[in-house]
Structure 1
């Protein structure tokens, strides 16, 4: 059974699709055939830049800039994953890039941990009035971008050098396995927001959930969730930190703090067509990127060998493709407004 310690979700249970034995077998066979076509993603990275880093766990390339280690790699395979996640999250939020009511003509927008820069580019095109700045510890962004979009190499956990009270909107997504002090990061965001400005964080918690008890307590999928919690705690980047964001936002003095929790299926088991597609994308994400998500965390946090991780991943893939398991990840969205603006919004548009 999935972890009972996670915060309750605001949305109704996801209705699973109904498969008879023959249809279920056919669906499983289709997934197996798809897996045999190779491990390379069908998507291509938007960046042609050379990734600067060091070869580490699992012979993957990791970023080396900044004061602390980042738990995930930053090579071409990881960049493909980030771009796919951008599409997946947009679908999960009903084609929205964010939920904060920032108005029609923001002047300065910051994206913390921008990855490939794909969110920055989309926002820059949607808001030509704004100078959109993406910052990351790895130079993995493209050179050809909208004129109002730029990227900077920096560690957002260090002291910021930008002008305080200057940003209309500060955004961060999927800072999983990277931030060791969220309250300090939130404090820096608050200082750099204009009065009346908004900040918004998005992230998957990695704390597996299920509405119908179809996740066996002894399953490898449940073990992955449990191991992620233990390893990220020891790594210094707790995977369940998003569950505490709302409280930290409110403690810092932000107003109109809102928390939205979305359910992201781990596979295409949902009856709803949109959630089925999102689940298919997430299943692909998991099947193609398990080692990248776990290799450094499990070695450094759990003391596992590379061979142990590969064996565990092989068993885990069977659970991920099992449509009888109706699991999902909670996806947290938390946003709030700095007080003092001329007009303080109370509800999202």
Structure 2
């Protein structure tokens, strides 16, 4: 079984403390570093194409849901300097050393599934030039040209409800864009190879008990249709497990990052997601060892990363 020095236990980490929230990953400095590094690799994966929706040339209002460290929020505010850009997260966005936060950003603490509660931190940068007294009021008032989210897989407990809410907050011809994945592993020939992994079956069942969905990437398009969105488009990206065999340098680096960081993250997820079920230390240790074996880098082993866009009709 892995040592606590290599794989810190949940008791050693800090988490979101919002009552009822199901987000399973930590909210502390090591996690912020991981998210920032991952964002760099995902940007390279998509050739720096952050937004896939067909926005009007000068959008006026943008929402980044589950903004984390604010790295994408900052990129959106920089790209669209005349837009009011809101970053929504369960807890305050950390102060990343050296990052210049554009003046058109406002970070808001709250839950997209419970917009009746929420607050704007006092040090938020944007001075609201509108009748709204707070950023949360501005979010509830809607009229967004873009509502964006990335990798809410480990935290969002009601995807259909989220997309219905997002659709209702759009301006006419506004877009919802979801960047997410399925926790299904594929081989070089795109055959699923994870169907019989015992640790993943247990983890999936525990996640479902929390309302999480481990196939949200491929299901996002259907939920968008159910929410009444149109012009739905899906683009798939290849997320490698191991970089030794990759030809493109950015994919080689991404694969090496995944081979190192994903086992660490999943060691933690196995402990955190299953903690409510009373499994023995021996059971959890066995699943961790199985996971470590299943995560060995192999040529062609990959996830599918989905970008799904849907538009509200005029």
Superposition TM-score tier, normalisation by shorter sequence: 0.7 to 0.9
Aligned match of 1:327: 301
Q: Does 1:226 align with 2:201?
A: yes
Tell me the distance in 2 between the aligned counterparts of 1:217 and 1:337.
33
Distance 1:310 1:62, change over 3 A: farther
Unaligned runs of 5+ in 2: 117-136
Q: 2:59 aligns with which of 96, 106, 114?
A: 106
Tell me the distance in 2 between the aligned counterparts of 1:64 and 1:108.
29
Q: 1:155 aligns with which of 87, 111, 115?
A: 111
Aligned-pair CA distance for 1:173: 0.8
Aligned-pair CA distance for 1:103: 2.8
Q: RCO greater where, 1 or 2, for CA within 8 Å and sep 6 or more?
A: 1
Aligned partners of 1:107 and 1:131 also within 8 Å: yes
Give the TM-score normalised by the residue count of structure 2. 0.80
Distance 1:93 1:227, change over 3 A: farther
Aligned partners of 2:173 and 2:313 also within 8 Å: yes
Aligned-pair CA distance for 1:152: 0.7
Aligned match of 1:67: 20
Q: 2:75 aligns with which of 112, 117, 122?
A: 122
Aligned match of 1:297: 273
Give the TM-score normalised by the residue count of structure 1. 0.73
Q: 1:91 aligns with which of 37, 44, 57?
A: 44
Distance 1:171 1:249, change over 3 A: same
Q: Number of paired residues?
A: 285
Tell me the distance in 2 between the aligned counterparts of 1:207 and 1:227.
14
Distance 1:85 1:303, change over 3 A: farther
For structure 1, which segment, 153-162 or 187-196, has the greater mean C-alpha deviation from structure 2 after superposition?
153-162
Aligned partners of 1:255 and 1:338 also within 8 Å: yes
The RMSD of aligned alpha carbons is 2.8
Aligned partners of 1:180 and 1:237 also within 8 Å: yes
1:296-334, Cα deviation, whole Å (9 max, x unpaired): 11223x54345644554355334434436x321111111
For structure 1, which segment, 69-78 or 192-201, has the greater mean C-alpha deviation from structure 2 after superposition?
69-78
Aligned match of 2:258: 282
